[in-house]
Each structure stands twice: as C-alpha cells, then as structure tokens.
Amino acid sequence: MTATEIAAAVRSGQRSARDVVEEHLAAIAARDRDLHAFLVVVADQAREAAAAIDAAVARGEDPGPLAGVPVAIKDTLCTRGVATTCGSRILDGWEPPYTATTVERILGAGGVVVGKTNCDEFAMGSSTENSAFGPTRNPLDPSRVPGGSSGGSAAAVAAAFAPLALGSDTGGSIRQPAALCGTVGVKPTYGRVSRYGLVAFASSLDQVGPFATTVADAALLLDVIAGHDPLDSTSIDDDHAPVSPQLAAGVAGLRIGLVEELTDVDGVQAPVRDAVAQAGAALEAAGATVERVSIPSAQYALSAYYLIAPAEASSNLARYDGVRYGLRVDADHAAAMNAETREAGFGPEVKRRIMLGTYALSAGYYDAYYRKAQQVRTLVIRDFARVYERCDALLAPTSPTVAFPLGAKTANPLEMYLSDVCTIPSSLAGHAAMSVPFGAGEGGLPIGVQVLAPALGEPVMFRVAAALEAAAG
C-alpha cells in the first residue's frame, strides 16, 4: 500500500494504524538483518504512536495527512532520546536533546517513525559503504550498493519497510540512492525545508527531503515538511504552496530542456542516456516542448563542490572534540584528548574531507581553491538562470550508472565522487531537483531520470515528475 492509501484507510477507520505498523515491523524483522537499512528500529515507540492514532480516530478526530504511515528517518536527523550517530563512531552513545523540525512535522501529521536509517558517515559518500556500522545492501540486488549517502532510507522504502523516508541531500544524497533503488527522491529548494535538527555537513548545500515509491507520496510528505521554520535562519520566510494539487495538471505547454553537459558526459551508461531521451520524448507526447540546452559551467561543478563542501565540513565537524558529543578518548591533557578522540572517532573519508577542506581554506591556498570554487558556483547559478529564461524544467540523468557492486569504488575516492556528477550542479545553485524511476539498465536494475527546476520550482517539477511516472507505467 502507498502512503496515500494507508493514510486514507486509517483516517476513515478502515484499517488500524496498529495493524499497519505491525505489518511493517514484521517486514523489517524478516529482512533487515540482510539489508541493514536501519541502525535503530524504535518498535515500541512506533507501537505507542500507532495506538495513539487509533485512539484519536476512535474519538472522531483526524490524526492528519500521514495518519498511521510508517516513516524511516535518516540518522543525520536528530530525534530526542533516540541515538543519532550520522553513521559515525564519534557520535556513539549520543542522544539528541531535541527533535528535528521535519520529524516533528511528520509526527504532528500522524506519521509513525519506525527507525533511524544507515548512511555514509556524516553523509559523505555515494554508496553507504562509509558508514562506521557497516554497509546497507540494495534490496533489488543485495550484491550491490543502494547508493548514498541516504542509502538506508532508499533501501527501507525499496524493501517496503516503510512507504516513506526522509533523507538529506548535500550534493545528491537523496536523488542518487533513490535512482539506484528505484524510488522517487526529492531535493527541495535550499531553504524550503527546515534544517533545524539536521546534523550539519555543508551548511550552504544541505537540504532535507522525501523518499517514496510514488510521486504522489513524495508530494504528500513534502507538503508536510515544507514551509517556514523560525528555528532555521536559512528557512525561506513564506508559505509553501502545496505540490499535491499540481500532480494532475499535466505538462501541456511546458518547455523542457535536456541538459547536454549532464547527459553526454563521460561515464554515463548508454541505457541511462537512452532513458533521458525517452523521458524527453514522453513529455513531448504529453504536450510539452523539448529542446537540448547547455549549462557550460556544469562540467566544473563537481570540482567546485569538492572544495566547497569539504571546506564547510572542516568547520562544521570541529565541534566533535570529545567534550560536547558522544565519544571521548581520554588522554593526559585536553589537546591530546581532542586529537585522540577525533583520530578514533572519524573514519577515513571524513578525515580526508576535513584535511581537504582545511587546506582549501588556509592562507596561501584560499584564493587558488576556495575562492575559485565560489566563482564557479556563481557561474553555475548564472548558466542556470539563462536556461530557465527559456525552460520551465530540465531533464538529466540522476546517476551516470545503475547500482554498482559493493566494493567496486571504495578503493578510488575520485570514482566514487563521480557518482554525483549529474546531481551536484543544482545543489550548488540551491535549486529543486528530484529523481523519478524511468526504465531499466544493466541487469534490469532501475534507472532514475532527474527533473530539475529553478528555486521554488517544486510545483512545475512535480507536474513533470507525475507525467514521467505515468509514461514509465
């Protein structure tokens, strides 16, 4: 059952939330030992929440648009009293004193949190193999990765452990795993969804968003979590125009661009390139006009991202000092305690990013690296602005490849970084983007087509996504 169907059934009293939750907990118990989508399952808490929802329905109250819907939460989001590790040893044993706004909104809408999902350590990675607690496997082929960094959330939805999940996306971490697991994944416009309670990786890029099995379910969850939050200073200060009512609007008259630099780039598998072309043809058949467009600076976006994101991470991760959070390795004096805690608590990819970021920000290198990267970011924003004068939305691959085998890219960080070559440009621009399953590639594995829209272009983006979903059948 989709989230939309579950909520309707629970609200009308046709199904009990208790029943729905038990069914999903049973699915988790049966299969998550093999997949490892979850770091923590909060079964008792979920049962209590479900009982409260059933009681509300019995009293004639409406529990809200997510009534009784199980939701999985990426472990980069704070949940009061429930361990939150970001896939890192350094947060081992830490229980946040507060809950992320997005999670509060889900609970307030009648959603039932079932657990915290595995991810690459501090969301740095594209395969979930950088989790300190072991990798997650792709439910469609357990010898392959689910993508990352929100691989646990993508796998949880693909394995039907929960119809909805939250992830966080800094450079592609919702969209790429969604593509690899055959789910829908949405990175909202920067500032559209609250980051309060999202553990910071790269604050100018981080954004929380939904995973779902259908476009309508993704819209349902986005409409619950989006909107102004006074607790997040980067939150856009206006009302969120709900996207759910847009889904039936169709694409007639919309102008769609196929981004050349993201589609014809080296490393994009032929079936992926074909899927984007077919997606364009499907939109044309549905009444849109489709043309090829160019974002010349997109080819430099990946390099700029791998300076900007590590630079911000090197600053954000300075807070893990053995004093304020989680792990502490005791030593003779404070500085040694700080160093030994960080040495023991951070994994290799996180250390690599901290060193890269610190280097890029240091005197003598700042102009050559960090400043240059910010200039590229400005060019990316300008190139998009020029194209969006002519186009309402854009199409590109989400991931250059389908899900790859575990271990295939762990020895070569650069190759792993290239997994996000198609998702990073809209992240740098702060725009909306989402991945929709469209066709299959090597081994019958799912392909995700990416729909890109300008800032606050979610309504048009969801119209295009709904049309692609209908065409994909």
Candidates 427, 471, 448, 468; CA nearest to 256 is 468
CB nearer to ligand GLN: pick between 46 and 123: 123
Q: How far is the CB of 9 from ligand GLN (least distance, A)?
A: 34
Q: By Cβ distance, which residue is nearest to ligand GLN?
A: 173
Q: How far is the CB of 52 from ligand GLN (least distance, A)?
A: 33
Tell me, yes or no, if 16 is annotated catalytic: no
Give the max Cα distance, the chain.
71
Q: How far is the CB of 126 from ligand GLN (least distance, A)?
A: 4
CB nearer to ligand GLN: pick between 171 and 397: 171
- Cα angle, residue 213 at apex, residues 212 and 214 outer, rounded to 5°: 95
State how far the Cα of 57 lies from the Cα of 59, in Å rounded to an integer.
5
CB nearer to ligand GLN: pick between 125 and 188: 125
- Cα angle, residue 467 at apex, residues 466 and 468 outer, rounded to 5°: 90
Q: How far is the CB of 165 from ligand GLN (least distance, A)?
A: 15
Selecting among 16, 127, 131, 149, the annotated active-site residue is 149
Candidates 318, 104, 410, 332; CA nearest to 227 is 104
Q: How far is the CB of 283 from ligand GLN (least distance, A)?
A: 27
Q: How far is the CB of 456 from ligand GLN (least distance, A)?
A: 20
CB nearer to ligand GLN: pick between 242 and 413: 413
Q: What is the DSSP string of 58-120?
A: HTT----TTTT-EEEEETTB-BTTB---TT-GGGTT---SS--HHHHHHHHTT-EEEEEE--S
Helix (H, G, I), strand (E, B) or coil at 437: strand
CB nearer to ligand GLN: pick between 63 and 171: 171
CB nearer to ligand GLN: pick between 147 and 459: 147
Selecting among 88, 127, 153, 173, the annotated active-site residue is 173
386 half-sphere exposure, CB direction, 13 A CA radius: 12
What are the two backbone dihedrals, phi and then psi, of residue 226, each rounded to the nearest 5 degrees?
A: -80, 160
State how far the Cα of 101 lies from the Cα of 104, in Å rounded to an integer.
5
CB nearer to ligand GLN: pick between 123 and 380: 123
CB nearer to ligand GLN: pick between 109 and 302: 302
Tell me, yes or no, if 314 is annotated catalytic: no
Tell me, yes or no, if 173 is annotated catalytic: yes
Interacting residues toward ligand GLN by CB under 6 A? 123-126, 149, 169-173, 201, 309, 420
Selecting among 74, 116, 187, 409, the annotated active-site residue is 74
Candidates 177, 156, 175, 178; CA nearest to 165 is 156
CB nearer to ligand GLN: pick between 223 and 420: 420
Starting at the edge strand found earlier in the chain, the sheet holding 393-397 runs 38-41, 112-117, 70-74, 164-169, 207-212, 184-187, 432-440, 446-453, 393-397, 255-259, 289-293
What six digits make up the tokens of 287? 């009444």
Q: What is the DSSP string of 371-418?
A: IHHHHHHHHHHHHHHHHHTT-SEEEEESSSSSPPBTTSSTT-HHHHHG
Task: Report how far apart, in Å, the C-alpha atoms of 265 and of each of 259, 419, 441 are.
Answer: 10, 12, 17
What six digits make up the tokens of 303? 């390099």
State how far the Cα of 364 lies from the Cα of 356, in Å rounded to an integer.
14
Q: What residues have CB less than 8 Å from 199, skipping those under 6 apart? A: 76, 77, 78, 84, 86, 122
State how far the Cα of 298 lies from the Cα of 324, in Å rounded to an integer.
39
What six digits make up the tokens of 51? 């009982």
Q: How far is the CB of 201 from ligand GLN (least distance, A)?
A: 6
What are the two backbone dihedrals, phi and then psi, of residue 112, each rounded to the nearest 5 degrees?
A: -120, 110
Q: How far is the CB of 122 from ligand GLN (least distance, A)?
A: 8
In this structure, the number of other CB atoms found within 10 A of the CB of residue 50 comes to 25
Q: How far is the CB of 230 from ligand GLN (least distance, A)?
A: 25
What residues are annotated to the active site?
A: 74, 149, 173
